[in-house]
Chain A
């Protein structure tokens, strides 16, 4: 009897029991809340896509209306622009095809990619031109990097480094950047987070390029 009491099971039965009960509780919470959380994320993605492809300056003072696949951007100055955003079947967690509704031409692509950062998973939206030749912008959907260091990846001054960079070569950061034509300046004290962002962008761009190349000829010109 005393051997059982002194064994790992005898000592840790309460922790095992609690772990089981709390695990079941968390599973129930996840099942109940995850559809709602995913809806919130989807709404955020739809709101951010115009800024990634049209440029952040177009959205300054602009109002955005979302109706299904149609997103109307009414800038402070100039004509409203109506975009159609269609999610494509993709091996990436999501790939969106964005076109202007009226002229009917393809504006670009936005893909959702993720990988491990320093603290937890970093999730990004990566905007690409219609021919996938250049990056139009990145947006950080989700991160839990170190406050005041790694969480600087959400700041516009860091994200601005990626705008307009050609996608013919993978991005490099920090000490390796001397070999690149378009170096990405790492955030001070957050090299791991900066490298993770570059890796996610590189992986996502590579995946999108392969998937779009596999599409039937001429399909990219569809409205």
Chain B
């Protein structure tokens, strides 16, 4: 018996936590490590990635019946590259300092496996409604991941959050956290925490209920 395809609500919810692109699938790690020294660039990256993901998912879903299996990756890449270019030019026009700060990481969204995997897994097989729900859910999951890493790094490394000073200037900060090694330390620790919480939840769920025997 064929397994039924997930509903739009299931796709939306799965993208946020159960199939979180960073903490569960380990996808999109390049921007997660590279632009999370502070919240502002991290959230700009999330916005650009969400725009590309939503547009790519919708387009591939609309043309899913025309896709040939051996040419589908080419279509996905063409679609993603187009919307990444639009996002890059829009940032350069309306948020020039942020565009300079993010540098090559916006064009590098093209090779973000998180986006191509959603085209492959969901939008090339399901309706535009489901594809949209999936893209929004995964974008929220990506936001959660980048926001958590950036929060840890900016607070520990700069004593601020979104540029707002949270601790007194005299308070010692860990400069290492806003440098590249800090990205690995923060992501590694948070990944460990997420995995531990996942295992604990699974273990609790599988425990026999007291008194049920």
- Give me the interface of A with B, judged by CB distance under 8 Å: 11-12, 14-15, 18-19, 22, 25-26, 29-30, 33, 36-37, 40, 44, 119, 143-148, 151
Main SS of chain A's interface residues?
helix
Q: Are B78 and A29 in contact (CB under 8 A)?
A: no
Beyond A15-B74, A33-B93, is A148–B180 a contact (Cβ under 8 Å)?
yes
- Which of B1-9, B38-46, B83-91, B116-124 lies at the binding interface? B83-91
Q: Are B85 and A26 in contact (CB under 8 A)?
A: yes
Which residues of the other chain, B, contact A15 by a CB distance below 8 angstroms?
71, 74-75, 78
Contact of A26 among B34, B75, B82, B104 (CB under 8 A): B82
Instruction: Give A145 to B180 CA distance when docked, in angstroms.
Output: 17
Instruction: Give A44 to B78 CA distance when docked, in angstroms.
Output: 32
Q: Are B103 and A144 in contact (CB under 8 A)?
A: yes
Q: Are B93 and A40 in contact (CB under 8 A)?
A: yes
Q: A29-B89, A33-B92 are in contact. List 15 more A-B contacts (CB 8 A).
A: A11-B71, A14-B63, A14-B66, A14-B75, A15-B74, A29-B85, A29-B86, A29-B90, A33-B89, A36-B94, A37-B92, A37-B96, A40-B96, A145-B104, A147-B103
Please give me the 3 A-B residue pairs with the lowest Cβ-Cβ distance, nearest first.
A40-B96, A22-B82, A33-B93
Min distance, Cβ A24 to any Cβ of chain B, angstroms: 10
Taking residues whose C-beta sits less than 8 angstroms from the other chain, chain B's interface range is 20 to 34
Which residues of the other chain, B, contact A44 by a CB distance below 8 angstroms?
96
Min distance, Cβ A190 to any Cβ of chain B, angstroms: 13
Contact of B78 among A11, A22, A30 (CB under 8 A): A22
Instruction: Give A213 to B107 CA distance when docked, in angstroms.
Output: 41
B160 at the interface (CB under 8 A from A): no
Q: Are B78 and A18 in contact (CB under 8 A)?
A: yes
Min distance, Cβ A2 to any Cβ of chain B, angstroms: 15
Which residues of the other chain, A, contact B75 by a CB distance below 8 angstroms?
14-15, 18
Q: Are A37 and B104 in contact (CB under 8 A)?
A: no
B49 at the interface (CB under 8 A from A): no
B79 at the interface (CB under 8 A from A): yes
Which residues of the other chain, B, contact A14 by a CB distance below 8 angstroms?
63, 66-68, 71, 75
Which residues of the other chain, B, contact A40 by a CB distance below 8 angstroms?
92-93, 96
- Give me the interface of B with A, judged by CB distance under 8 Å: 34, 63, 66-68, 71, 74-75, 78-79, 82, 85-86, 89-90, 92-94, 96, 103-105, 107, 180
Instruction: Give A12 to B68 CA distance when docked, in angstroms.
Output: 9
Q: Are A25 and B79 in contact (CB under 8 A)?
A: no
Min distance, Cβ B124 to any Cβ of chain A, angstroms: 13
Which residues of the other chain, A, contact B96 by a CB distance below 8 angstroms?
37, 40, 44
Beyond A15-B78, A18-B78, is A144–B104 a contact (Cβ under 8 Å)?
yes
Which residues of the other chain, A, contact B68 by a CB distance below 8 angstroms?
11, 14
Instruction: Give A11 to B66 CA distance when docked, in angstroms.
Output: 11
Q: Are B107 and A12 in contact (CB under 8 A)?
A: no
Instruction: Give A18 to B71 CA distance when docked, in angstroms.
Output: 13
Instruction: Give A119 to B63 CA distance when docked, in angstroms.
Output: 33
Instruction: Give A194 to B23 CA distance when docked, in angstroms.
Output: 37
Min distance, Cβ A189 to any Cβ of chain B, angstroms: 14
**A43 to chain B: closest residue by CB:** B96
**A19 to chain B: closest residue by CB:** B78
Which residues of the other chain, A, contact B94 by a CB distance below 8 angstroms?
36
Q: Are A151 and B90 in contact (CB under 8 A)?
A: no
Min distance, Cβ A221 to any Cβ of chain B, angstroms: 36
Which residues of the other chain, A, contact B74 by a CB distance below 8 angstroms?
15
Instruction: Give A37 to B95 CA distance when docked, in angstroms.
Output: 10
Interchain residue pairs with CB less than 8 A apart (28): A12-B71, A14-B75, A15-B74, A18-B78, A22-B79, A22-B82, A25-B86, A26-B85, A26-B86, A29-B89, A33-B89, A33-B90, A33-B92, A33-B93, A36-B93, A36-B94, A37-B93, A37-B96, A40-B92, A40-B96, A143-B103, A144-B104, A145-B104, A147-B34, A147-B105, A148-B180, A151-B103, A151-B104
